Amino acid sequence: MKMLDQIWVQNLCVVAGYSLLGTVLWYGTRSDRWRAAWKRLKADVPGMGALFVIFAYLLVGTLESLTISAESGNLTLLQKLASGVPQEKSYSAPLAKTTLSVAEPKPLKAVHLLGTDALGRDTLVQTLRATRSALWIGGLTSLIYIPLGVLLGMMAGYFRGWVDDVVQFIYSTVAAVPEILMLVAILMVLGKGLGTMAIALGITGWVGMARLIRGETLRQVERPYVAAAKAMGQSHWKILSSHLLPNVMHLVLIKFVLGFSGLVLAEAILSYLGVGVPVGTPSWGAMIDASRSELSREPLVWWNLTASSVALFILVLALNFFGDALRRAFDPKRGE
């Protein structure tokens, strides 16, 4: 997990992540069903609006994930862009002219749109920087749980028999442990960090995906195209990868988007519990945790809590909206 701390690995991961997403979408354009869904999606106003919001978050997260070497140490692109924002001495309210102190307010070096936190850092910049943790958790976890869930689910549904029994046994066992307990246990043993958090969430997360894909595969196997492929003497692997996979892929995409919103929330909650991101990594959950005591201060410090929760809320909301829009686009008859 130490590897992830190196700059070039992180930069490479960003590029690799985008290429992977691009490849999946490019394969999607070859499918009639995906093209029809895209046409319907384009007419879906809330869905497209949500997509734009998600793109904005992706942009901010990417800027914070790409690191460059500078004279004053390594900086992320976002830090570089925000390098004009000075650090103050202490708390200051949004758009205030002095620090938040009844006894001796000190003049500020600049105007801060959303105020500053206890260390005098600009709240807006901190909130934007925290996007990275949320997106990395969502992305890394998806890289773990999607292949695992899809592969095992398809195998269980296709081969049935003992393969199905084994897969069902494994996921029943994992599902038998209440999720939050499992996450806490894994993270306590493995330690804090983005990588370990993704592993923990991946181990608990694949069960739902495997169940969904198993069910759909069981249904698809009955269809004539599978029988035709079998009659032509195609290998199991070929049937699974080039016939069944494209027919369940849209479910994977919908589950990926809706699951992403859950992962963003999970990141915040785990960081809040103290088993999430390492100390010092900007994260909405950690910001919410830090701002808990600020509400009992006099005068009241409310902007850190508000900024981090609103940023988190908007991303999760957009993901939920977009996921629902995708579902409507792929399955217009069901509606909901």
Partner 1 sequence: MFAYLVRRLLFFVPIIFGVMLLTFVLFFVVQSPNATARRVLGQRATPKAIENWLHNRGYDKPLLINQTPGEPWHDSLFLNQMQRLATFDLGASDVTGRPLAEIFREGALPSLLLTVPAFFASLVMSIGLSLYLVFIRNKAVDLAASLLCVMLMSVPVMVYVIFGQFVVAQVLNYFPAFGFQLKGISTVKFLVLPVCLMVVSGLGSEVRLFRALFLEEMGQDYIRTARAKGASTAVVLLRHVLKNGMINLITLLVASLPFLIMGSLLLENFFGIPGLGNVLFSAIQAPDFAVVQASVFLGSLLYLGGLLLTDICYAWADPRIRLQ
**Residues that bind partner 1 in the complex, under the rule CB under 8 A:** 169-170, 172-178, 180-182, 184-186, 188-190, 261, 265, 268-269, 272-275, 285, 288-289, 291-292, 295-296, 305, 309, 312-313, 316-317, 320-321, 324, 336
- Provide CB contacts within 8 A for 296, sequence distance 6+: none
Question: 186 or 239: whose CB is closer to partner 1?
Answer: 186
Compute the distance between CA of residue 184 and CA of residue 272 in angstroms, rounded to an integer. 12
CA pair distance 202, 141, nearest whole angstrom:
5
Smallest distance from the beta carbon of 290 to partner 1, in angstroms? Answer: 12
Our CB check for partner 1 shows the closer of 187 and 248 to be 187
Among 191, 204, 320, 325, residue whose Cα is nearest residue 264: 320
Residue placing its CB nearer to partner 1 in the complex, 82 or 186: 186
Q: Considering beta carbons, is residue 12 or 317 the nearer one to partner 1?
A: 317
Q: How far is the CB of 113 from partner 1 (least distance, A)?
A: 21
User: Residue 84 and residue 62: Cα distance in Å, rounded?
Assistant: 20
Cβ 233 to partner 1, closest distance in Å? 35
Q: Given the complex with partner 1, which of 23 and 293 has the nearer CB atom?
A: 293
3-class DSSP state for residue 116?
strand
The C-alpha atoms of residue 153 and residue 211 are separated, in whole angstroms, by 6
The distance of closest approach from Cβ of residue 206 to partner 1 in the complex, given in angstroms and rounded to an integer, is 14
298 Cβ contact partners less than 8 Å away, ≥ 6 residues apart: none
Give the nearer residue to partner 1 in terms of CB position, either 75 or 175. 175
Shortest Cβ 265–partner 1 spacing (Å): 5
CB of 185 to partner 1, least distance (A): 5
* Comparison of 35 and 292: residue with beta carbon closer to partner 1: 292
d(CA 294, CA 304): 9
Decide whether 194 or 268 has the Cβ nearer to partner 1.
Answer: 268
Strands (E), the chain: 67-70, 73-76
Taking the complex as a whole, the smallest distance from the CB of residue 154 to partner 1 amounts, in Å, to: 22
Number of C-beta neighbours around residue 193 at 10 A:
18
Nearest approach, Cβ of 283 to partner 1 (angstroms)? 12
Strand partners, 70: 73
Long-range contacts: 186-190, Cβ < 8 Å, 24+?
187/270, 187/275, 187/276, 188/275
75: which 2 tokens?
């900086």
